[in-house]
Structures are given as structure tokens and as C-alpha cells.
Amino acid sequence: MKSTVLKNSQDVNPARSIYEIEVKDIAGNTTTLEKYKDKKMLLVNVASACGYTPQYKELQAFYEANKEHWVVLGFPCNDYGAQEQGSENQIQQFCEVNFGVTFPMFSKVNIKSSPIHPIYDWLTNPSLNGWNSQVPDWNFCKFVIDEQGRLEVFYSSAVNPNELVK
């Protein structure tokens, strides 16, 4: 799979704040991304049975090395090759046991299947985020949100977390 990187070259502001969107953490608690407002956010659609699953290790290393200014947010999704069939508890256990994941994980979301989760509607709808229409084409696609809540960059699955601009 080829690497794709799309950037917000004009610092376009979103029509709607990403911080207002409700999400459920992996334990099922409703929250928003407001608590990460002063950090860059790296949102990743993750899966436990994917060829890119080893990126969990790199995502955790990236998180540990940069957590003063960044947060990694994992959003499990079963839309790509049915590679995330486990329950939230199974996903959490898998990530902790196999990769030592401590970055925030969230409940499973739909990205391509209906209903599309509001966070991925925002990430892929230019009328909401200001510029991007690229929908993840596989697991482990990455979106960078800057400290002001603007979508900054989209990275395809093939871009390893170690290659991200810090």
C-alpha cells in the first residue's frame, strides 16, 4: 500500500469544533476530546488482526516519547476486512498484553458502515473540518489535530508512527 500524506496547507479553521463531539472511551463512558485541547492529537483507526497491528508498538513509543505535547487516541473499527471483531474488553486486553498500550482507547466506531461515527464524519467531511474529504481506506490511518482543534494532516496506514513530524 502506498503512503499518502495530505496536509492542511492553508490553516483552514473547521466549521464545527472537534472538541464538542461526544465519544465513548473503551470502558463505555461518554466524554469529549476537550481534555486534550492544548495538545496535538493523533487519531488512529485501529484493529487487532491487521497486517498493520504491530504499529501499536510504534504508536505507544510515539505516545511515551511525546506525551507532553501529543496524545495518541485509538479508535477500534471493524469496517476494514472485519479485523476488529472483539468486544471493547477484549480489545483493551489485547492492546495492554501484547503492546503495553497506555494511550487512550475508545469504543468501536463505524467509519465506512452506517451510521458513521460523528468523529469520523468530522474528520472526513470538509464542510465540518474545513478541507479534508479523505476517508481511511484501511486500518491504522492517522489524523493529526493541532492544539487549536484544526485538522492538520492525514496519513495513510503505510506511514509508520516513527515517520510522523513531531
Q: Where are the domains of the chain?
A: 5-163
Single out the residue of 113, 114, 141 nearest to residue 46, CA to CA: 141
The one catalytic residue in 50, 77, 95, 141 is 50
Do 119 and 127 meet the contact criterion of CB atoms below 8 Å apart? no
pLDDT at site 8: 83
Range 52-55, long-range pairs (CB < 8 A, 24+ positions):
52/138, 52/139, 52/140, 52/157, 53/139, 53/140, 55/140, 55/160, 55/161
Q: Cα(102)–Cα(60) distance, rounded to whole angstroms?
A: 7
Q: Whole-prediction pTM value? A: 0.94
Tell me: cis bond preceding 76? Omega within 30 of 0 counts. Answer: no
Active site residue 77: no
CATH for the 5-163 domain, from 3.60.20.30, 3.40.30.10, 3.30.342.10, 3.40.50.300:
3.40.30.10
Give all strands (DSSP E) within 25-162, no chain letters.
30-31, 40-46, 70-76, 142-145, 151-155
Per-residue pLDDT of the chain (166 residues; tens, 9 = 90+): 556 777 886 777 888 899 999 999 999 999 999 999 999 999 999 999 999 999 999 999 999 999 999 999 999 999 999 999 999 999 999 999 999 999 999 999 999 999 999 999 999 999 999 999 999 999 999 999 999 999 999 999 999 998 886 5
